[in-house]
Chains A and B, each alone.
Chain A
Amino acid sequence: MSAHSRRHFLKLSLATAASSIIHAPLIHATISKHVVIIGGGIGGSTAARYLRKMDSSIKVTLIEPKSHYTTCFMSNEFLAGLRSFKSLEFSYHKLAEQGISIIHDYVVAIDADKQSITRSSGDTIHYDRCIVSPGIDFKWNAIEGYDETTAKDIPHAYQAGQQTLTLKKQLDAMRNGGTVIIAPPANPFRCPPAPYERASQIAHYLKMHKPKSKIIILDDKEEFSKQKLFEAGWKRHYGYGTNHSIIEWVSVAQGGHVESINAKSHIVSAQADDFKADVINIIPPQQAGKLAFTAGLTDQSGWCPVDHKTFESTIHKNIHVIGDSSISSPLPKSGYAANSEAKVCAAAIISLFNGDRPLAPSLINTCYSLLAPNDAISVAMVYGYKNDKIIKMDGAGGLTPNDTSDHMRQREADYAHSWFNNITHDIFG
């Protein structure tokens, strides 16, 4: 660019800028752009940040009852004694600094026709678009004797926080030679590899501190995520497949399905047998978060059908559902997926406000599982969009190779920790 044309360009852009200032209030007066986000987890918080980042003229309100978010991911390292609980906690003050209004309250109702939500305080808030990101809820009593009350003593630890602390306390208090039962549900559920990473991390803790103890996984499935890689890792570290294995896996065909539990006697009745355990971790079957049901956003599957380009509910207009609650398969229900969906949803909302066609989404999911310190495996995939559906990109993605070296799995562990730092920084600032 010549000196002359550069000067001309700058003059021109200054003129454009000046006219923008004059016209800006006019735009605000004609188009109301208020997005109310319900749920300050991975999906909701990411959406709030990216809406503000990409278009600061949008008013963003985030409604979340808790003052802190505790991440489920990496909470298994806390159970192993390798990470502080505090490192899993994130506050909302950076979001507030970004100009996002944070309201710590429950939402009791959404009126899709009037485009308004009602808080537990009785106040109503009008929205132009609403994003619902309520995470998961549990199907209580799907396992006889396991409900919200029992869960206080027999933790699921699948929504991090007090539940995680309870499980850790019980593991710490357990005798050497005790039995831990982990009972994962059938598909679909949040973060499919997590119960098996949990088994790995608890096994590491037991190996270090209570080596006579064991873990029995009573599974409601015939196979599970990253199975070969997990089993190879368990062989490397925990004697899997031998008589001294810390971990034993009982598939559904072997009678792993849990029928009932007795909270008092600590007996878990599976199809195969009754198991007496010192610590019981039931991960119950799941469905969309409560609010999704209250607002009528779910279908008969118990999850929320959405348009795959915008994540707008196919049941109610102007309400978008992201994260674990949405039916976004082939995307898994994972933290990375929720983060990626939130950005696509935020971009789509901005385009819709502007009267533009939203772009075809592009998403990533990467999910690491830590088998032991310095040993991790992963699954990754890139997602595109074809024929109105999110699709896996041909030839992309997959698992850590089975024959990978110790050295490469050490790298994966380093990258897993980097992923945690970067994604939480991306979400909470």
Chain B
Amino acid sequence: MTVSKPVKYTLMSCLLFGLNAHAVSPNKASLLANACAGCHGPNGSSQGPATPSIAEMSPVYFIESMSAFKTDERPATVMNRIAKGYTKEQIKLMADFFYSQKMLRTEQLTDPAMASLGETLHAANCEKCHAKGGRESADDSGLLAGQKIPYLRYTIQDILNGDRAVSRKMFKRLSSIHDELDSDGIEQLLHYYGSQK
């Protein structure tokens, strides 16, 4: 079932209210997710400079990412070693927990002119799947708006090098931006995403 945001927040506030008044004991999901905060920030909102925020991330994307880390299909530093410690059920609980958190966007150093060029590139190439300027993380698309720039840069490098599998369409779009504008085009996109509050 997909729950719309307003209903989701109402549900959450009721749960929170109930938590305080009735002293509900912590659940499995929060216990699992709390351990992630050391690297990804409280409730999954990262202070950066590089580790990505995972709050508000689409559960489909979260589960897909953890599975890819588990099987070493996705390039990683520590996440492939961490993901192997969790069962499918635990990953599902964490995915739902982080989806229900609000992503807090911290200020990143960006160039307004670059960001503006990036916005045009995004609208022409990426908006269809990464809706609302990359603000929406639905199905298998990741969060882009306000995501940490070094992380996005590493990810795009991996995609262009063929180290990280994405859809044919996405690969073609990114490659053509890279071929036509060299790394400038990619940097413009990064400044656009990084500049969003």
Contact = CB atoms under 8 A, between A and B. Distances in A.
User: Do the two shown chains form a genuine complex with each other?
Assistant: yes
Dominant SS among interface residues on chain B: helix
Given A21-B21, A415-B51, A425-B41, A347 B35 contact: no
A400 B37 CA distance: 21
Contacts of A1: 7
A343 B37 CA distance: 10
A393 B7 contact: no
Contacts of A340: 34-35, 38
Contacts of B27: 359
Given A16-B14, A363-B35, A414 B23 contact: no
A20 B23 contact: no
A387 B14 CA distance: 36
Given A55-B20, A351-B25, A378-B78, A396 B38 contact: no
Contact of A57 (B20, B41, B81, B150): B20
Interface residues of A, number: 58
Interface in B1-46: 7, 10, 14, 17-28, 30-32, 34-42, 46
A220 to B, nearest CB: 29
A143 interface: no
B173 interface: no
Interface in A380-402: 380-384, 393, 395-398, 400
A366 B78 contact: yes
B38 A422 contact: yes
Nearest to A383: B85
A33 to B, nearest CB: 8
Interface string B79-91: 0011111100010
Interface string B110-133: 000000000000000000000000
B141 to A, nearest CB: 23
A343 B34 contact: yes
Interface string A333-369: 0001001100110010011011010010111101000
A336 B38 contact: yes
B48 interface: yes
A180 B84 CA distance: 41
B18 A16 contact: yes
Interface of B: 7, 10, 14, 17-28, 30-32, 34-42, 46-51, 75, 77-78, 81-86, 90, 148, 150, 154
11 contacts: A1-B7, A16-B18, A54-B26, A57-B20, A359-B31, A381-B85, A382-B86, A397-B85, A418-B47, A422-B42, A426-B37
Given A55-B20, A411-B154, 16 more contacts: A1-B7, A17-B14, A17-B17, A21-B21, A50-B34, A347-B26, A350-B23, A351-B26, A364-B82, A384-B85, A414-B150, A417-B49, A418-B48, A421-B49, A423-B38, A423-B39
